Amino acid sequence: MRLLIIEDDFAFANTLRNGLRTNFVVDVAYSCKEGRTLLEANHYDCLILDLTLPDGHGRDICRQLRERKNAMPVLILSGKDAIDTKVELLDIGADDYLTKPFHLSELQARIRALTRRKSHMVAVAPILRAGDLSLDPERREVKRADAVVSLRRKEFDILEYLLRNQGRVVTRTMILDHVWAGEMEPFTNAVDVHMKYLRDQVDRPYSHKLLKTVHGVGHMIDNH
C-alpha cells in the first residue's frame, strides 16, 4: 500500500514517513507543485495532506482530485481546530480530518479505516468505449485492441473527457476548463501538444482513426 504525504514541515514530514514506512510505502512532497507532480506520476492508496503549503493551499489539491473523479482517500492534517474549517474540507471532498498534535497510532488507525472502506466500495464508474478503444476510469487504464496504451495524466484526462462527450465536438476552452480546472493556466498550445501525444499513442498504430480534429473548433471521438 502506497501513501503520499504533502507537508511543508521537513522534520514533521520525515517523522511521519519514518513512523509509517514499517507498514506502507511512503512518498513525501513538501509543496503543492511537488505533490501534484507525484500524484500525476503515481497511484496512491491514500493522501495525507497538510493545508498550509508554501505555494498554495491543500484544499485546492483536494478539490481538484474530486473534480477529476479521483476517489483516493484524503486525510487532512492541520493545526486548525475550527469547526468551520473541518466542515469546509469535508464538504470539498476530504474523507477525514486529524488535528495536530496527534499520536502516530491514531493516524495509522485512520489510514487503515480509510483504505479498508475504499476496498469495500463497489466500483460504479463504467468502462468507456469507442470501437476497440476502452478506458477504465477506476483503474485509470486505457486499451486499444486489447493492448494497454500508456498515457500521462493529462492525456488520460483529455481522453476520458472526449469519450464522455463521444460524437460531440469539444472546444479547446472546454478541455482547458475541465482538465486544468483550478490550476495555473497552461501555455497557450497545451491542448494541441497533448492531443498530438494522444493521437500518437491511441491512433497512429491503427488504420481506423478515432480522434478527429475539427479545424478552428476543437476535437472529438468519432467511431464512424
Q: What is the pLDDT of residues 32-81, one digit of tens each?
A: 999 998 888 778 899 999 999 999 999 999 999 998 888 899 999 998 88
Cα radius of gyration (the chain)? 19
* Fold match, 2-120 / 128-221: no
**Amino acid code (one letter) for 39:** L
Average pLDDT over residues 121-148: 83
In the block, residue with C-alpha cell 481506423: 208
Helix or strand run (H / E) with residue 21: none
Q: What is the rounded CA–CA span in Å between residue 198 and residue 177?
A: 18
pLDDT for residue 67 = 87
- The structural domains of the chain, with segments of one domain joined by +, span 2-120, 128-221
Topology of the domain comprising 128-221: Arc Repressor Mutant, subunit A (1.10.10)
Sheet containing strand 96-99, edge to edge, reads 25-29, 2-6, 46-50, 74-78, 96-99
Average pLDDT over residues 175-186: 68
Confidence of residue 202 (pLDDT cuts 50, 70, 90): very high
Sheet containing strand 133-136, edge to edge, reads 128-130, 133-136, 141-144, 147-149
- Give the chain's mean pLDDT: 88
Question: Is CATH 3.90.1150.10 correct for 2-120?
Answer: no
Q: What is the rounded CA–CA span in Å between residue 109 and residue 101?
A: 15
Strands 128-130 and 133-136: antiparallel
**Helix 153-164 / helix 190-202 crossing angle, nearest 10 deg:** 80
Q: What pTM did the predictor assign?
A: 0.56
Which conformational region is residue 145 in: left (phi greater than 0), alpha (psi within -120 to 50 degrees), or beta?
Answer: left
Residue 169: how many other CB atoms lie within 10 Å: 15
Q: What is the rounded CA–CA span in Å between residue 175 and residue 56?
A: 23
